[in-house]
A and B are shown apart, each in its own frame.
Chain A
Amino acid sequence: AEELRLSHQWSNQDIRNQVAQMVADEVAAADVDLEIKIFGSQSLFKAREQYTPLSRGQLDMTVLPLSYAGGQQPAYNLTLMPGLVKNHDHAARMNESPFMAALEDKMAEDDVMVLVHGYLAGGFAGKEGCITSPSDIDGLQTRAAGKAFEQMLAGAGASIASMASSEIYNAMQTGVLDAANTSSSSFVSYRIYEQVACYTPASDVALWFMYQPMLMNKSTFEALNEDQQAALLAAAENAQAYYLAEAKKEDAASAEVFRDAGVEIAEMSQADFDAWRALAQETSYARFVEETPDGQALLDLALAVE
Chain B
Amino acid sequence: MDPLVLSGLVALFTIIVLFSGVSVAIGLLIVSAGFLIVFDGTRSLELMPEILFGKLDNFALLSIPMFIIMGSSIASTRAGADLYEALERWLTRVPGGLVISNLGACALFAAMSGSSPATCAAIGKMGIPEMRKRGYPDGVAAGSIAAGGTLGILIPPSVTMIVYGIATESSIGRLFLAGVFPGLMLVGLFMVWSLYSTAKSGDRALLNTRAYTWREKFEILPRVIPFLMIIVGVLYSMYGGIATPSETAAVGALLCLLVAMVIYKLWNPRDLWVVLRDSTKESVMILFIIAAAGVFSYMLSSLFITQSIAAWIAELDVNRWWLMAAINVFLLIAGFFLPPVAVILMAAPILLPVIVTAGFDPIWFAVVLTINMEIGLISPPVGLNLYVINGIAPDIPLKTILLGSLPYVACMVLAIFLLCLFPGIATWLPDYVMGAAR
Contact = CB atoms under 8 A, between A and B. Distances in A.
Given A174-B244, A175-B241, 15 more contacts: A5-B302, A43-B307, A44-B298, A44-B302, A49-B54, A52-B50, A53-B50, A58-B46, A163-B59, A170-B173, A174-B238, A174-B239, A174-B242, A176-B244, A191-B438
A175 B237 CA distance: 11
A5 B40 CA distance: 12
A46 B50 contact: no
A171 interface: yes
Contacts of A173: 434-435
Range of interface residues on A (Cβ < 8 Å): 20 to 34
A167 B244 contact: yes
Contacts of A166: 169
A58 B438 contact: no
Contact of A174 (B43, B46, B240): B240
B430 to A, nearest CB: 12
Nearest to A46: B54
B44 interface: yes
Contacts of B54: 45-46, 49
Contacts, number: 58
A164 B242 contact: no
A248 interface: no
Contacts of A194: 435
A137 B46 CA distance: 45
Nearest to A195: B435
Contacts of B241: 174-176
Nearest to B353: A41
B57 interface: yes
User: What are the 9 tightest A-B residue pairs by CB atom distance, in nearest-first order?
Assistant: A175-B241, A174-B241, A49-B54, A58-B43, A43-B301, A44-B301, A170-B173, A58-B47, A46-B54
Nearest to B41: A58
Nearest to B45: A58
Interface in A141-199: 163-164, 166-167, 169-171, 173-176, 191, 194
Given A43-B307, A46-B57, A164-B59, A170 B47 contact: no
A242 interface: no
Given A43-B301, A53-B50, A191-B438, A170 B244 contact: yes
A46 B241 CA distance: 29
A70 interface: no
Contacts of B47: 53, 58
A49 to B, nearest CB: 5
Given A49-B54, A164-B59, A170-B171, A43 B349 contact: yes
Contacts of A175: 240-241
A37 B301 CA distance: 11
A169 B244 CA distance: 11
Contacts of A53: 47, 50
Interface in A37-77: 37, 39, 43-46, 49, 52-53, 56-58
B298 to A, nearest CB: 7
Nearest to B301: A43
Contacts of B59: 163-164
Nearest to B307: A43
Contacts of B242: 174, 176
Nearest to A191: B438
A164 B171 CA distance: 12
A169 B243 contact: no
B50 A49 contact: yes
A57 B304 CA distance: 19
B44 A58 contact: yes
A49 B244 CA distance: 25
A169 B43 CA distance: 38
Nearest to A44: B301
B306 interface: yes
B388 to A, nearest CB: 33
Contacts of B435: 173, 194
Interface string B32-43: 000000000001
Contacts of A45: 51, 54, 298
B171 A169 contact: yes
Nearest to B237: A174
A164 B60 CA distance: 10
A194 B435 CA distance: 9
B177 to A, nearest CB: 12
A45 B47 CA distance: 10
Contacts of A164: 59
Contacts of A56: 46
Contacts of B244: 163, 167, 170-171, 174, 176
Nearest to A161: B244
Contacts of A191: 438
Interface string B133-170: 00000000000000000000000000000000000010
Contacts of A43: 301, 306-307, 349
Interface in B239-288: 239-245
27 contacts: A43-B301, A43-B306, A43-B307, A43-B349, A45-B298, A46-B54, A46-B57, A49-B50, A49-B54, A49-B57, A52-B50, A57-B43, A58-B43, A163-B59, A164-B59, A166-B169, A169-B438, A170-B173, A170-B245, A171-B244, A174-B238, A174-B239, A174-B241, A174-B244, A176-B241, A176-B242, A191-B438
A201 to B, nearest CB: 21
Nearest to A173: B434
A164 B349 CA distance: 20
Contacts of B43: 57-58
Nearest to B302: A44
Contacts of B171: 169-170
A167 B171 CA distance: 8
Contacts of B239: 174
Contacts of A163: 59, 244
B306 A176 contact: no
A273 B304 CA distance: 47
